[in-house]
């Protein structure tokens, strides 16, 4: 089979783009993998190891003290603070959990023995290891600038996957499944290459999935494009007045607990005649009555966001985002008027749009929340991603000519087919992910500029 003269140049271009993407992505991929591991292990391993005295209690024969009494106990302990959230114990040996915002604006976890209302202790929710890992994972501690850099890294991860597959494909002389089976009898750089290629092949689908679901939280592709189109239309609850505050205001600090497609939706207001009566007439509308109503709907594990102001509502959230559900199909969010006890909104998974349903499924999978198997799989992906980054650096170091310094020249060209397919896919990436697309154009223009300058310099030197 003959190959067109342009194919070696195309291969070299793919190699360069793989190198460009790798130089940019690897630091972020290392950071995302390490912080991802911390967040995956925090709830099942780290928190119980360091805070068991706060999280667990000795089960008693007597019943729980009422939730409202526990709330009153916390109010007495923190008279100047605002109590924003309550989470029920998930088992007889677990403590109740209140979130308190102090006068400095810091979110504090307060743990209560549900059998006698004893305050077990507290710790900072905003300064926890999980919150720090979450903030680094989302912004690299650079705010909106860091968010944009991470969004760009997610887009370039797709470029890495495509260029890696493109470069591997024409080299193979055997069956396609060789991509997934490294030749462990190789030595030196060849062994590193076998392991890098096979690890990348196994991770390709996982990294593609994690990149796309991760992009749903970013400031441009997520917050400006995808999320607004799929935000739940609270207007379907006709006659319910809404606030200028969104559901995202219920998130404590940097930690996201509100379902993705509700974050930009406005909250309802208390004080109108709207809604359906759900608390018994004459019964006080408080933590006990709203919790009792949720349990009547067979909601067992959930958290109650308390009214923040005079027109706020009781918001009962049971979702995979808040780690109250294993399956997102069971997601449910209730809003109850703090004065009348009327149900203003009842939002369930079946009410989500198609893309919102896909995100509701994808995000907990991304976060390793869908059961033990999902958790173990995601931990494995993080560890293999760390190896993929390290092996990529080792491969570059081993292939560079001796004393060449930071050599970015590609290896000897080989024939390459499927360039047109790769170009089409890159174009789709550029259109679907504007920030990545804009950077691809800028890098291509710079490459063309420097290429012409180098050629002109070479001609002048020869003359």
- Per-position pLDDT tens, the chain of length 463: 444 444 556 666 677 777 888 888 999 999 999 999 999 999 999 999 999 999 999 998 878 999 999 999 999 999 999 999 999 998 999 999 999 999 999 999 999 999 999 999 999 999 999 999 999 998 988 888 989 889 888 888 888 887 777 776 655 555 666 777 787 888 888 888 888 888 988 998 899 899 888 888 888 888 888 888 888 888 788 889 999 999 999 998 888 899 999 999 999 999 999 999 998 888 899 999 999 999 999 998 899 999 999 999 999 999 988 888 888 889 999 999 999 999 999 999 999 989 889 888 888 899 998 889 999 999 999 999 999 999 988 887 876 655 444 444 444 444 444 555 556 666 777 776 777 777 777 777 776 676 666 666 656 666 5
Domain tally, the chain: 2
Residues 20 and 154 in one domain: yes
How far apart (Å, rounded) are the C-alpha atoms in residues 314 and 16?
A: 55
Residues 387 and 452 in one domain: yes
- Per-residue confidence (pLDDT) for residue 255, from 0 to 100: 87
Residues 313 and 393 in one domain: no
Residues 395 and 305 in one domain: no
- Per-residue confidence (pLDDT) for residue 295, from 0 to 100: 94
Residues 206 and 315 in one domain: no
Domain boundary among 312, 339, 366: 366
- Per-residue confidence (pLDDT) for residue 405, from 0 to 100: 47
Q: How far is CA 365 from CA 40, 212, 300, 360, in A?
A: 11, 12, 22, 9
Residues 358 and 402 in one domain: no
Collapsed DSSP state (helix, strand, coil) of residue 368:
coil
DSSP 422: H
Residues 301 and 199 in one domain: no
Residues 386 and 423 in one domain: yes
How far apart (Å, rounded) are the C-alpha atoms in residues 154 and 159?
A: 9
Show the tokens assigned to 241: 């007045």
Residue 19: closest CA among 454, 434, 449, 447:
447
Q: By residue range, what is the domain housing residue 306?
A: 234-366
- Would you say residue 450 lies in a domain? yes
Long-range contacts of 82-86, Cβ-Cβ distance < 8 Å, separation of 24 or more? 82/308, 83/306, 84/252, 84/305, 84/306, 84/308, 85/250, 85/252, 85/303, 85/304, 85/305, 85/306, 86/287, 86/303, 86/304, 86/306
- Would you say residue 89 lies in a domain? no
- Per-residue confidence (pLDDT) for residue 2, from 0 to 100: 42
Q: How far is CA 390 from CA 37, 75, 121, 194, 445, in A?
A: 17, 51, 42, 14, 30
- Would you say residue 65 lies in a domain? no
Residues 254 and 339 in one domain: yes
Residues 315 and 398 in one domain: no
How far apart (Å, rounded) are the C-alpha atoms in residues 212 and 364?
A: 13
How far apart (Å, rounded) are the C-alpha atoms in residues 207 and 133?
A: 19
- Would you say residue 108 lies in a domain? no
How far apart (Å, rounded) are the C-alpha atoms in residues 101 and 254?
A: 14
Strand runs (DSSP E) across 28-131, as ranges?
Answer: 82-87, 96-101, 107-112, 119-124
Strand runs (DSSP E) across 181-257, as ranges?
Answer: 242-246
Domain boundary among 366, 394, 427: 366
Helix count and strand count (H, E) for the chain: 12, 11
- In sequence order, the 6+-apart residues with CB closer than 8 A to the CB of 409 are none
Burial of 176 (0-12, 13-18, 19+ CB in 10 A): exposed
- Per-residue confidence (pLDDT) for residue 5, from 0 to 100: 46
- Looking up tokens 């024939």 gives 415
DSSP 140: T
- Would you say residue 88 lies in a domain? no
How far apart (Å, rounded) are the C-alpha atoms in residues 395 and 414?
A: 18
Show the tokens assigned to 392: 């990529």
Domain boundary among 348, 366, 384: 366
- Would you say residue 170 lies in a domain? yes
- Would you say residue 101 lies in a domain? no
How far apart (Å, rounded) are the C-alpha atoms in residues 131 and 94?
A: 22
How far apart (Å, rounded) are the C-alpha atoms in residues 370 and 365?
A: 6
- In sequence order, the 6+-apart residues with CB closer than 8 A to the CB of 412 are none
Residues 212 and 244 in one domain: no
Residues 279 and 292 in one domain: yes
- Strands across the sheet containing 119-124: 119-124, 107-112, 96-101, 82-87, 303-305, 313-318, 332-337, 342-348, 276-277
Show the tokens assigned to 68: 């409202």
- Would you say residue 120 lies in a domain? no
């Amino acid at each position: 089979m003959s190959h067109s003269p342009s194919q070696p140049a195309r291969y070299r271009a793919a190699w360069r783009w793989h190198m460009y993407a790798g130089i940019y992505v690897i630091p972020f991929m290392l950071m995302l993998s390490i912080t991802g591991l911390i967040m995956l292990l925090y709830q099942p391993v780290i928190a119980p190891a360091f805070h068991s005295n706060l999280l667990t209690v000795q089960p008693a024969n007597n019943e729980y003290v009422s939730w409202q009494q526990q709330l009153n106990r916390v109010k007495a302990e923190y008279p100047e603070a605002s109590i924003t959230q309550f989470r029920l114990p998930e088992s007889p040996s677990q403590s109740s959990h209140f979130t308190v915002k102090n006068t400095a604006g810091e979110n504090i976890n307060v743990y209560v023995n549900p059998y006698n209302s004893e305050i077990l202790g507290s710790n900072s929710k905003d300064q926890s290891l999980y919150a720090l890992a979450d903030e680094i994972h989302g912004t690299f501690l650079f705010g909106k600038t860091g968010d944009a850099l991470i969004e760009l890294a997610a887009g370039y991860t797709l470029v890495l996957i495509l260029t890696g597959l493109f470069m591997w494909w024409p080299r193979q002389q055997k069956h396609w499944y060789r991509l997934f089976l490294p030749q462990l009898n190789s030595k030196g750089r060849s062994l590193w290459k076998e392991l890098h290629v096979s690890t990348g092949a196994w991770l390709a689908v996982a990294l593609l999935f994690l990149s796309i679901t991760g992009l749903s939280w970013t400031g441009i592709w997520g917050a400006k494009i995808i999320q607004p189109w799929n935000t739940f239309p609270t207007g379907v609850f006709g006659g319910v007045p809404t606030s200028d505050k969104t559901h995202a205001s219920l998130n404590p600090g940097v930690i996201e607990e509100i379902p993705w497609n509700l974050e930009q939706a406005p909250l309802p207001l208390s004080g109108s005649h709207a809604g359906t009566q759900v608390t018994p007439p004459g019964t006080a509308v408080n933590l006990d009555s709203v919790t009792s109503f949720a349990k009547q709907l067979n909601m067992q594990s959930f958290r109650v966001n308390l009214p923040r102001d005079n027109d706020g509502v009781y918001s009962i959230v049971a979702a995979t985002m808040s780690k109250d559900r294993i399956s997102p199909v069971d997601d449910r969010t209730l809003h109850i008027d703090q004065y009348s006890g009327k149900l203003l909104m009842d939002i369930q998974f079946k009410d989500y749009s198609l893309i919102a349903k896909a995100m509701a499924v994808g995000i907990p999978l991304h976060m390793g929340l869908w059961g033990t198997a999902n958790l173990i799989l995601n931990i494995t992906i993080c560890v293999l991603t760390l190896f993929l980054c390290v092996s990529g650096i080792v491969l570059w170091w081993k292939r560079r000519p001796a004393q060449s310094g930071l050599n970015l020249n590609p290896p000897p060209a080989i024939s390459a087919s499927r360039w047109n397919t790769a170009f089409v896919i890159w174009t789709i990436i550029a259109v679907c992910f504007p920030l990545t697309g804009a950077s691809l154009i800028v890098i291509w223009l710079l490459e063309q500029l420097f290429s012409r300058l180098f050629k002109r310099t070479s001609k002048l030197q020869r003359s």
